[in-house]
A = this chain, B = another copy of it.
């Protein structure tokens, strides 16, 4: 693969900026049927918790204009099962291993990081999910409060040398404040953005389409919000940003990088076209060659008016 796509997220070197977003690739195994995962920069695991979770009942997806709502609710086999059954597969895929860590309380996150740290040789970064809108406690509740973000990040910082990427929610008044809190707590990077909280109603039944009532909005429709947040944070942060939200082609990747992202995650678009990263990777290589640049040189080159 072309070296032109090489990027760094802090100390983590990725052979391409393309990371599969958490919750949209499971642990990579199913996608290995579709293409060779080693072309990827990284894979972010489904959000993991200490205990296995069945997630939310009933209908979990509601289609929207240029996107969808999901209310999966962190269904996962639990971190112990993951370590025994999926971690090696991810490691051997050839993509960087990002483990997405969720929880309901400070203790949960601490437990998770303590459990994962001994496997650091197989893990490239921990992505601390402070932003899932589909569970009652933890996640987004912590992730909307700068003080709580700083507190939990610094607690986790003391528990591991693994790079800590804090994944933030866009459902806040001031994304700079939450991103700066993560930085102050010792984060190695922030991941922007998780889903926007939304709802759809079935007008025949007068009930929410999602059995969880609300869900997380993702897909091309959220891209302008994500780009704005990445660009805002790039003006104030010293740590790198991983951009995410609505990426559907190579131009979107470039847009995120110009806005300030060092790497990107692709989620919903891969649900519609599982092998999309193959095309995007090829297009990015061509873009770099045509323009005679290395992709990483794009990061933060936005020229504001």
Name A's B-contacting residues (CB within 8 A).
58, 62, 64-67, 69, 144, 171-174, 196-201, 203, 205-208, 210-214, 217, 219-225, 227-228, 231, 246, 251, 254-255, 258-259, 301-305
Closest to A59 in B: B305
Interface-centre pick from A196, A201, A217 (highest chain B CB count, 10 A): A201
User: In the bound complex, do residue B251 and residue A203 qualify as a contact, i.e. CB atoms below 8 Å apart?
Assistant: yes
User: In the bound complex, do residue B66 and residue A221 qualify as a contact, i.e. CB atoms below 8 Å apart?
Assistant: yes
A–B complex contacts, Cβ < 8 Å, 14 sampled:
A64-B224, A65-B65, A65-B220, A66-B221, A67-B221, A172-B173, A196-B224, A199-B227, A199-B228, A203-B251, A203-B255, A206-B301, A207-B304, A208-B305
Taking A65-B67, A198-B227, A208-B302 as given, write out 7 further A-B residue pairs in contact, using a Cβ cutoff of 8 Å, ordered by the A residue number.
A62-B224, A65-B65, A203-B251, A206-B303, A208-B231, A217-B224, A221-B221
User: In the bound complex, do residue B304 and residue A208 qualify as a contact, i.e. CB atoms below 8 Å apart?
Assistant: yes
Inter-chain contacts of A62 with B (CB < 8 A): 224
- For this chain, the copies found in one complex come to 2
Complex Cα–Cα for A304 and B64 (A) = 19
For A65, give its contact among B58, B66, B255 (CB under 8 Å).
B66
Inter-chain contacts of A220 with B (CB < 8 A): 64-66
User: In the bound complex, do residue A69 and residue B224 qualify as a contact, i.e. CB atoms below 8 Å apart?
Assistant: yes
Inter-chain contacts of A199 with B (CB < 8 A): 224, 227-228, 231, 259
User: In the bound complex, do residue B198 and residue A214 qualify as a contact, i.e. CB atoms below 8 Å apart?
Assistant: no
For A200, give its contact among B69, B196, B224, B304 (CB under 8 Å).
B224
User: In the bound complex, do residue B206 and residue A225 qualify as a contact, i.e. CB atoms below 8 Å apart?
Assistant: no
Complex Cα–Cα for A65 and B178 (A) = 27
User: In the bound complex, do residue B258 and residue A302 qualify as a contact, i.e. CB atoms below 8 Å apart?
Assistant: no
Q: Give min CB distance, A23 to chain B, whole Å.
A: 18
